[in-house]
Amino acid sequence: MSKKICYVVTIPLTIKAFFIPQIRYLSNNGFDVTVVCSRFGSDDAEVVENQLNGFAKIHYIDMPRGLSFFGSIKAIHKLKRFFKKEKFDLIQYSTPNASLYASTAALFTGCKIRNYHLMGFRFLGEKGIYGFILKLMEKITCLFSTNIECVSRSNLELGLNLKIFNEKKATVVWNGSSGGVDCKRFDIKKREAWRAGLRKDLGYSESDFIYGYVGRITRDKGINELIEAFLSLNNGAKLFIIGNYENDGSVDSVLWDKALHSENIRIHGPTDEIEKYYALIDVLVFPSHREGFGNVIIEAAAVGTPAVVADIPGPRDCVVAGKTGWFFSLSEKSGLANSMKKVKNIDCLEFGKNAEDFVKNNFDSEVLCKKICDRKNKLLSQ
């Protein structure tokens, strides 16, 4: 008899970005999988439906993304009714809002295995009543969960230090990350061809040194520090930024205007061929203020691109300092600029090969999917 499990996230983009391979693997290994999310982002929902067709059922329940008392009560009620009807053996939830709603509903319906896939702490960096509420939400979710799977060892340690959860509940599957890296897609053997093709198409020469950034364009991701540091270098290098600009007022408008008008900075929207763009750049720069893990770091590494990374929980697990990349301290005003200056004069190819070996041995998605399957079977057998 198939084991019925449910994955709950707030939006379909999260499933698309992190969980497709493992859900397929679980489906092929005796699990009856259902995905629950809001229908936010119709394009992403359609992609997820197509990619999971034949592997998992999808059920849509609206879940508010911000703080909404009545919206939260409504979402919990709908989840509770759905869980009661389906009688899942295991319910797993990710992302803060969906996890609060799902853990509460799963507890009330008597699901014995409530697995929190903890992707990071949203309350970090927030102050006042808002930060207090976010931290309280996190503690409630962990309290209502029977098991907690942190995506990185450093975030597990942080959660214990902050007394967010009990040590007996928490673990990290294999070496962490949400889904590992598909080493067939992020293939270092194709690096040179991708690099040469994109540089030609985009008007870069092979001798151009290019720093790259991949992620949401917002303050928490360190975009202000990145632009300021790059503009201070004035060393003939280029900066290639890939991501969605989040018009939330957090990006310094003066710096952003300088970036838009700089002949050495290029801004590109999200792409489904990100593996090729990792090959385009010489070094990835990842100055995020808070992070659960740092998937773009290991994706870039799989293609042979090392990284300059903020020394914070999460990304700390993605780099071997002085071998696959470099750390800098967010507390040092010139820390990022100094690191970016230094790496321009280092053989990035050697670091890139080390990075690819590190990822292949520690974050291969095929191995991680098996580890996740073994973990689910272990929980269910208990």
> Do 212 and 304 belong together in one domain?
yes
Q: Which domain holds residue 81?
A: 3-180+365-381
Please give the chain's pLDDT, 382 residues, in tens: 789 999 999 999 999 999 999 999 999 999 999 999 999 766 889 999 999 999 999 999 999 988 888 999 999 999 999 999 999 999 999 999 999 999 999 999 999 999 999 999 999 989 999 999 999 999 999 999 999 999 999 999 999 999 999 999 999 999 999 999 999 999 999 999 999 999 999 999 999 999 999 999 999 999 999 999 999 998 999 999 999 999 889 999 999 999 999 999 999 999 999 999 999 999 999 999 999 999 999 999 999 999 999 999 999 999 999 999 999 999 998 999 999 999 999 989 999 999 999 999 999 999 999 999 999 999 999 8
Q: What's the domain count of the chain?
A: 2
19, 121: one domain: yes
Same domain flag for 358 and 369: no
Residue by residue, what is the 3-state secondary structure of the chain? CCEEEEEECCCHHHHHHHHHHHHHHHHCCCEEEEEEECCCCHHHHHHHHHHHCCCEEEEECCCCCCCCHHHHHHHHHHHHHHHHHHCCCEEEECCHHHHHHHHHHHHHCCCCCEEEEECCCCCCCCCHHHHHHHHHHHHHHHHHCCEEEECCHHHHHHHHHCCCCCCCCEECCCCCCCCCECCCCCCHHHHHHHHHHHHHHHCCCCCCCEEEEECCECHHHCHHHHHHHHHHHCCCCEEEEECCECCCCCCCHHHHHHHHHCCCEEEECCCCCHHHHHHHCCEEEECCCCCCCCHHHHHHHHCCCCEEEECCCCHHHCCCECCCEEEECCCCCCHHHHHHHHHCCCCHHHHHHHHHHHHHHHCEHHHHHHHHHHHHHHHHHC
Do 158 and 270 belong to one domain? no
Could you report the per-residue pLDDT of 26-58, keeping only the tens digit for each? Answer: 999 999 999 999 997 668 899 999 999 999 999
Do residue 42 and residue 57 come from a single domain?
Answer: yes
Q: Kindly state whether residues 115 and 194 are assigned to the same domain.
A: no
**107 and 247 both lie in a single domain:** no
pLDDT tens by residue, 152-205? 999 999 999 999 999 999 999 999 999 999 999 999 999 999 999 999 999 999
Residues 296 and 309 in one domain: yes
What CATH number is associated with residue 61?
Answer: 3.40.50.2000
Same domain membership, residue 116 and residue 240: no
My answer on whether 240 and 352 are in the same domain is yes
**One domain, residues 78 and 140:** yes
Q: Does 234 lie in the same domain as 335?
A: yes
